[in-house]
Amino acid sequence: MVRPSGTFGDPPGPHWCPLVRAQFPLGPPSLSPQITPRSSIDPRSPLFPPNPPARPDSFSPPGVPRQGRGQDGRNGILWGLGGLLAFCALTVALWQLPELAALRERGRSLRGQLRVLEAEESDLEQRFYLGALQLPNRTHPAVPVGDQSQARLLEVVGEKPEFDFKPKGHLELGEGLDIIRQRRLSHVSGHRSYYLSGAGALLQHALVTFTLRKLLSKGFLPMTVPDLLRGAVFEGCGVQPSANPSPVYNIDPARFEDLCLAGTSEVGIAGYFMDHAVQLQDLPVRVVCSSTCYRAETDTGREPWGLYRVHQFTKVEMFGVTAAERGTESEELLEEFLGLQKEIFSELGLHYRILDMPTEELGLPAYRKFDIEAWMPGRGKFGEISSASNCTDYQSRRLNIMYSREGGQLRHAHTVNGTACAVPRLLIALLESNQLPDGRVRVPPVLQPLVGREVLARPPAPLLRYIGPNQPGGGPSRTGGPP
């Protein structure tokens, strides 16, 4: 997809938003009364006289005594009844006139034409809206042009781990330590699911706690967000729940209308700021959120086993809202987020590299995106563990995220996001990089106080013994004997 390149400036109008559905002025000033049947019942229509005579009030409200009792009162009532009967007779006579019948037929025809036009308008509006959803953000002039192969290497950090033995993969290590379970789960939770237990669960909690403490010490605002969100919030963030295939889990619309499971807390945090303004002096706002993320991974042929591509995982996300006074605030915040990511991954002892991602890898909302890839010895290659994106005003225009300048003038804010800790990917890098020849794994020093040990070792005996139907070399074992 071609992405326009350049700098930013607000288009005309303080609240312009390219994805707001078009609202056309279809009232009487823009349509002739001859082509809209609504004008036939609109008192402001030219079909009605400009100054209709006032209708005499012949009857008093119930319970209110009329003025002038006796013969005068009875005469008034009779006069009123006579007027009503005359009005009814005149209405019946007019209804039978050929001219009125022709007008009624004309009205029915116009109503039919209007229904067709309204259907066409609705279809065009929907097509316009879906087309507008496909429009990407502008691109930073320094971004490489092309696909993944054109990514620009910015920096390599840390020492690559060396082994005098063949390193194992994280799944083999995790199963040997009895901390990861991914086998025999198809009837429990489906493909690409997993359990972390014992030290594996402690490692997840330690990673999240370590990351949260780090970011809270930097002044981040902690937040929890809903996992279920409206489709409009996803669309405003540049994610399309209705795409086919879609990375988003949609809840059954027959029971819960327009609700989707979030694949990142970025969507929920953006929804928090939706239709709200922040004071200029309070910017930038830095938010950190730990949440469960749900991804409908559609490319099932890649990484079918292990934790690299899973449907559900825990992630700590950074999200920033900043001003656009100088035009460089969001770029500065992106560099700040990148620096925090480097600090976290360096303290974990990882060997990683930073890439400036090319145009075809930016996604719709990103103006610029940096990926961080850690060396994973068991896989024998680098694997993405984090990214940081500057979305400028792409999301704020769609979600109406504003900031208030001096004098109360509103302007669209810029948004920045970055992954601080994606637990499964970090577990892969940590387990594979810190393994020992006997299958044990060293715990990074910064995590040892939280995990409670320096080395992960296999427990004396496994907690579970499989007794299900898929026994190796035979049928089910239902009697409790050896499998």
**Which ranges of 167-318 does DSSP label H, i.e. alpha helix?**
170-176, 199-216, 231-236, 265-273
The string of pLDDT tens digits covering residues 258-304 is 899 999 999 999 999 999 999 999 999 999 999 999 998 755 566 66
Beta bridge partners of 357: none
Choose the catalytic residue: 387, 389, 396, 433: 387
- CATH code for the structural domain at 148-456: 3.30.930.10
pLDDT band at 85, cuts 50/70/90? low
Distance CA 325, CA 313 (A): 37
Residue 463: is its pLDDT beyond 70?
yes
Q: Which two tokens stand for residue 440?
A: 């044990």
Cβ atoms of 356 and 154 within 8 Å: the answer is: yes
pLDDT band at 104, cuts 50/70/90? confident
Distance CA 476, CA 469 (A): 4
pLDDT band at 15, cuts 50/70/90? very low
Choose the catalytic residue: 246, 384, 405, 477: 384
Residue 319's pLDDT is 99
| Omega prior to 245 cis, within 30 of 0 | yes
Residue 23: is its pLDDT beyond 70?
no
Would you call 297 a catalytic residue per the annotation?
no
Choose the catalytic residue: 181, 192, 295, 398: 295
Residue 47: is its pLDDT beyond 70?
no
Lowest mean pLDDT across 2-16, 37-51, 243-257, 399-413: 37-51
Q: Which two tokens stand for residue 188?
A: 């429990």
Supply the angle between the helices 199-216 and 423-433 in degrees, to the nearest 10.
110
Residue 233's pLDDT is 94
Residue 376: is its pLDDT beyond 90?
yes
Would you call 309 a catalytic residue per the annotation?
yes
Ranges of each domain in the chain:
33-47+69-133, 148-456
The string of pLDDT tens digits covering residues 216-239 is 999 999 999 999 999 999 999 999
Residue 188: is its pLDDT beyond 70?
yes
Q: Which comes out higher in pLDDT, residue 85 or 149?
A: 149
| CA 105 to each of CA 109, 110, 150: distance values in angstroms, whole numbers, following the listed order | 6, 9, 67
Q: Which comes out higher in pLDDT, residue 462 or 475?
A: 462
pLDDT band at 356, cuts 50/70/90? very high
Strand stretches in 102-183, DSSP E: 152-157, 180-181
Distance CA 248, CA 419 (A): 18
Residue 181: is its pLDDT beyond 60?
yes
Would you call 361 a catalytic residue per the annotation?
no
Q: How much is the average pLDDT of 323-344?
A: 97
Choose the catalytic residue: 192, 397, 425, 433: 425
Residue 154's pLDDT is 97
The string of pLDDT tens digits covering residues 137-160 is 999 999 999 999 999 999 999 999
pLDDT band at 39, cuts 50/70/90? very low
Taking each continuous run of H as one helix and of E as one strand, the counts in the chain are 10, 18
Residue 58's pLDDT is 38
Mean pLDDT across the chain: 82
Choose the catalytic residue: 38, 230, 309, 353: 309
